[in-house]
Structure 1
Amino acid sequence: MLLYKFDNTMISTIKFRIIIWAFIGLCLVACSHKKKYVIIQGKLIGYHKGDSVIYFKPIDGFNNSQIFETTNIINDSGEFKIVFPSDSIGFTKIQTKKGNIFILAQNGDSVYSEQQTIPYADSFAMQPVIFTGSNSAMHNLYNKMNSNYFYKFNYAMDLLVKKYPAGSNLYDTLLSGINKYLLPFDSIYKQKKISKYCLEIMKSDFRNAMFWHVYHNMGALEKNNLWIVPEPEKDLKRDILQHSINVDPFLLHTNFGTGLLADFVGEYNELFRNQDYPVYDTFFYKNGLEYKASAHLIPGYNKFFWADMIIFKTLQNQEYGFSFDTIFSHLKNTFPGFTYIKIIEHLKKVNESNLNKSSAKINSNIHLIDSTRAINSLDKAIKTHFKDTAVYIDLWATWCMPCKEEFRYKNQLNNLLKEKNIKLMYISLDDTSKKNTWEQNIQYFDLEGYHILAGKNISNDIAKRVYGHEIVQSIPRYLLVNKQGKFVSMNMSRPSDLVTLKNELDSLLSKN
């Protein structure tokens, strides 16, 4: 699920089955000359032999939310095995049908995880997973608390709403409450069940996750009329970013670190332009255009910001907003030997090759609907193009990596919908200025069906009709319309969960 917009965290793409890790198989900095590996095994509910799971390995110990590999399920019990070398401690994220599993691992670790049918006995119990093996106490606690990011945001909201004393500092109140919330990690450290280094990364990750959610949901907090001091929203935003950028040494190890870097760059002129932030890279300052504020990041952060941005834009088939060759050449010259250099070169070649193939093959089953004029609502789109037929609607965007992960299952989805005589419509929530990028993605992923680029009017209609009063509007999201043009579900199962989706279609359409 991707927060709307850019996320993180939770963010990855599908059709790029890119095996690039041969480039980064570095030797261990360790006492032994024998190469060690991280071994992660487990059992997943709902998976069978022939299925596969995607996972994201750390790069140089830093969080990677964009480049993934796959591993096959071994048998019908849902067992899997992941093996890889890693030069330092870093997060591995495994995406399953039920959610995400996070593992902070280093070479030599052997971790076993198993999804449970019995939930945890607290409010954070959305995706229960039990761990054994290396650092099991740490992983059990982390995934128990980390099972659903929105619960953490709700916690942060509750903290500010219920415990905010008039006239006090919002940031201090928030940080104090978060640190108290993280005391269980200190407890297992005292029991010698976690190293000091892992402890600090774990605590940093939770702080940054809560910071990120508060930062991106200021509107929800404003509705509670919390603001008493002048411009407290900007004050809180500044404090959050300054802590993450200037104080936290583990920022880039965390799942929301790069997102906070992007926030700093994106809102630098609004929040920090009158403050004394040095320019560390005059080249980026002159050539970065809309991203010129990244020049105010220290070099270690600067190179990861640009590498992450270039990879994101490349995988999304998006325009860079600057000259790729100019910026990439500077990145290579300034940071020679940087791991991401070879990764970016490889991605660029693969992406260009795939785009050339897709542009040469035009699928006649792809129908683009002009929605910028006559169509300004969901009902209008249905009445105009889908009379007397059921419609399954996919809400997505070109910047949404989880949306693209679901495209991996498009063939199975197409077969299911054709079998049931249901039409498929994709509605992109991109801005209309991204029309070329939108069309490129449709061709690239070969998305058979009807397509609408939402634009302002339809996007507003979707926000009211589909999301209503939901604080966080997330995509991908799937809707179902029956033959009479009535919306019978605003939250259908994903194509990746085809069995559940099939049952939902049978049940909902038989009743309506």
Structure 2
Amino acid sequence: MNLFRSLVILLLPLCLMGQTKKDNIKIIGKIDGKIPDIIEYTLPINGIDFFGFTDSVQPDAAGNFQINLPLNKTAFIDLSNKYKSFGTLIAEPGMTYKVYINTEAPENKFRIESQNQKGQSLYNQIPNRSMIVGGHFELETKSYIKDSIPSEIKHKLEKSKQTELEGFKQLLKDKIISKNFYNLVQTDRDYFYKGAQGSLAFINYLNSAYKENKLSPAQYKELWADIFQSNPVTNPELLSSPWFYFYVENYLRYKELIIEGIDIASLQEFNKQGLIHTHNIANAKKYLSGPQLEYYFAAYLYYEAINKNYEKELIALFEQFKKEYPASTYTHFLEPVIIPILAFHKKQEEPLNEKIKFIDNAANINSVKETIKGLNGKLFYVDIWATWCGPCKAEFKDNAKLYQLLKSKNITMVYISIDKENREAQWREMSHFYNLEGNHIRANEKLDADLRNLYGNPSLAIPWHFLTDENGNIIKKNLSGPSDIENLAKQLNEN
């Protein structure tokens, strides 16, 4: 997340609950349990809520923190730490909120005291309220993926939405929440379920290539088109929903794949040429304008940059964004995620660490045993990873401790990437950038199949770490990664 300023920490008397300065809000927080280094919170710029546009505050030793923000319209504010959500506040101008966070309790981890606290509690019980809590359009569509009647799909989605809104309707009737509070929740839920409908149409479009679609082309096209008639992307209220970016992304897919008739093969060609992001932004400019385009452009750059694929193309697009929006509020959120991409490409100019060794004749190595038998050593710590795997790359920051531990036990390091052939260059570049000392091989189809067989499931979850003997026989099937070096040391001591 982006860290730009630390707010002064004040433990205020509890009697300060209530109203605060008009067009401002105040959040008085208390953390129980393990106190994180920072609390990150989404900044409601123009009322938006995007997980990447954040500021932060540092709790004091007792777990107290305070946030003061300008706010001129009701908005969502997500509180989190390193993309792990604590909860969501529905903030209204002029209000003061007391927030209690328990980082260790299995239940009641997030509680808000305010005039509308029943509404706050009800909203935080919604499991799909934002991507940062693990919700997404695609997850919602799992309940409807086998349905083949569009009218029934729409009925089920509408029923799910209305079920979520029932409690808020009663709170509005009882005057426990305001009309603005209710309208924000209603718009958000409406766009979420319409987004799920669009996602289901997209999945059927993709499945049609394999004749696995449950809806006919005419049906999924109609289902897809329907949502943008009732819920247009130009609605200014959509900007306040955490689903804005993903809803617009679905809209642009519809325009490109259905209206323009561009096929997947053409998009894959853009990807091969290293121009897919440039193409996607150009496509967005055809259908978006004003605040929607500026927000989408910025959110797109942020979302792609944090995937840490380090595409050089994103640097040029960031420069383009700054030129087109010289006074954009979003620019300083983008700079911290673009800087690592610049560093990545600068690193490629340096000579390769001699301890990084790419295995010869890799195309003819079809199993883990064949991989290991060609190397010198008695024991081998094997890391299965891929350039597109965020958790895999997150482990690399602790590699210095890993290499020290392996050296002390005379264990040889082996990295096996399951990247496809079209990511060969990126695989080598990332091995260089992360300074991955050890033996490297990118799995061909047979080695990939061998790994999945050894794992025991065709869906291989990575990162996966295991220990083999000198013949490639697995001695320990599941080992900790370098981020849990103490447990890994215990596991290796048991050998």
- Which range, TM-score by smaller chain? 0.5 to 0.7
For residues 246-292 of structure 1, the C-alpha deviation after alignment (integer angstroms, 9 at most, x for no partner) is 386554544443234334435633222269xxxxxxxxxxx943543
- Does residue 1:262 correspond to 2:244, yes or no? no
- Spell out the pairing of 1:80-479 with structure 2 (5 A cutoff): 81=65, 83=67, 85=69, 87=71, 89-95=75-81, 100-104=85-89, 106=91, 108-118=96-106, 129-134=109-114, 136-146=117-127, 149=134, 156-159=141-144, 161=146, 164=147, 167-169=149-151, 171-183=153-165, 184-191=167-174, 192-193=176-177, 195-200=181-186, 202-204=188-190, 206-207=192-193, 210=196, 214=200, 227=214, 229-230=216-217, 232-239=219-226, 246=233, 249-266=236-253, 268-273=255-260, 288-289=278-279, 291-299=281-289, 300-314=291-305, 316=308, 318-319=310-311, 321=313, 324=316, 328-329=319-320, 331-332=321-322, 334-344=324-334, 348=338, 351-352=341-342, 355-356=345-346, 359-360=349-350, 362-369=352-359, 373-378=363-368, 380-385=370-375, 388-398=378-388, 400-415=389-404, 423-454=412-443, 466=455, 468=457, 477-479=463-465
What does residue 42 of structure 1 align with? 31
Shift of 1:446: 3.5
Q: 1:333/1:387 Cα in 2 relative to 1: closer, same or farther (>3 Å)?
A: closer
Letter in 1 for 2:284: S
Q: 1:90/1:43 Cα in 2 relative to 1: closer, same or farther (>3 Å)?
A: same
Shift of 1:339: 1.2
Q: 1:443/1:379 Cα in 2 relative to 1: closer, same or farther (>3 Å)?
A: same
- The answer to whether the Cα contact below 8 Å between 2:161 and 2:190 also exists between their aligned partners in 1 is no
CA distance in 1, matches of 2:65, 2:409: 36
Q: 1:94/1:346 Cα in 2 relative to 1: closer, same or farther (>3 Å)?
A: closer
Larger radius of gyration: 2
Letter in 2 for 1:301: Q
Letter in 1 for 2:296: F
Q: 1:159/1:410 Cα in 2 relative to 1: closer, same or farther (>3 Å)?
A: same
Shift of 1:103: 2.0
CA distance in 2, matches of 1:438, 1:226: 34
Query: Per the alignment, in what secondary structure is the counterpart of residue 318 of structure 1?
Result: coil
Query: Per the alignment, in what secondary structure is the counterpart of residue 295 of structure 1?
Result: helix
- The answer to whether the Cα contact below 8 Å between 1:289 and 1:322 also exists between their aligned partners in 2 is no
> Which has the larger displacement, 380-389 or 147-156?
147-156
Q: 1:307/1:168 Cα in 2 relative to 1: closer, same or farther (>3 Å)?
A: closer
Letter in 2 for 1:176: E
Shift of 1:180: 3.6
What does residue 284 of structure 1 align with? none
Gap regions ≥5 residues in structure 1: 1-11, 13-17, 23-29, 120-127, 276-286
Shift of 1:160: 5.5
Over aligned residue pairs, what C-alpha RMSD do you find?
Answer: 5.0
Shift of 1:461: 5.7
- The answer to whether the Cα contact below 8 Å between 1:156 and 1:214 also exists between their aligned partners in 2 is yes
What TM-score do you get using the length of structure 1 for normalisation?
0.66
CA distance in 2, matches of 1:412, 1:82: 37
Letter in 2 for 1:94: S
What TM-score do you get using the length of structure 2 for normalisation?
0.68
Q: 1:144/1:84 Cα in 2 relative to 1: closer, same or farther (>3 Å)?
A: same
Q: 1:266/1:70 Cα in 2 relative to 1: closer, same or farther (>3 Å)?
A: same
Letter in 2 for 1:477: P
- The answer to whether the Cα contact below 8 Å between 1:394 and 1:426 also exists between their aligned partners in 2 is yes
Query: Per the alignment, in what secondary structure is the counterpart of residue 142 of structure 2?
Result: helix
> Which has the larger displacement, 431-440 or 345-354?
345-354
Letter in 2 for 1:441: M
Shift of 1:488: 4.7
Letter in 2 for 1:129: K
Shift of 1:442: 3.5
Q: 1:204/1:362 Cα in 2 relative to 1: closer, same or farther (>3 Å)?
A: farther
Shift of 1:173: 3.2
- The answer to whether the Cα contact below 8 Å between 1:395 and 1:478 also exists between their aligned partners in 2 is yes
Q: 1:274/1:427 Cα in 2 relative to 1: closer, same or farther (>3 Å)?
A: same
For residues 349-408 of structure 1, the C-alpha deviation after alignment (integer angstroms, 9 at most, x for no partner) is 67535753675475444344468612345554455448642425252434x545444444
CA distance in 2, matches of 1:218, 1:306: 27
Over the matched positions of the two proteins, sequence identity in percent amounts to 16
Q: 1:220/1:196 Cα in 2 relative to 1: closer, same or farther (>3 Å)?
A: same
CA distance in 1, matches of 2:161, 2:351: 55
What does residue 15 of structure 2 align with? none
Query: Per the alignment, in what secondary structure is the counterpart of residue 102 of structure 2?
Result: strand
CA distance in 1, matches of 2:442, 2:480: 22
Instruction: With a CA cutoff of 8 Å and minimum separation of 6, indicate the structure with the bigger relative contact order.
Output: 1
Shift of 1:441: 3.5
Query: Per the alignment, in what secondary structure is the counterpart of residue 207 of structure 1?
Result: helix
Matched positions, count: 449
Gap regions ≥5 residues in structure 2: 7-18, 263-276
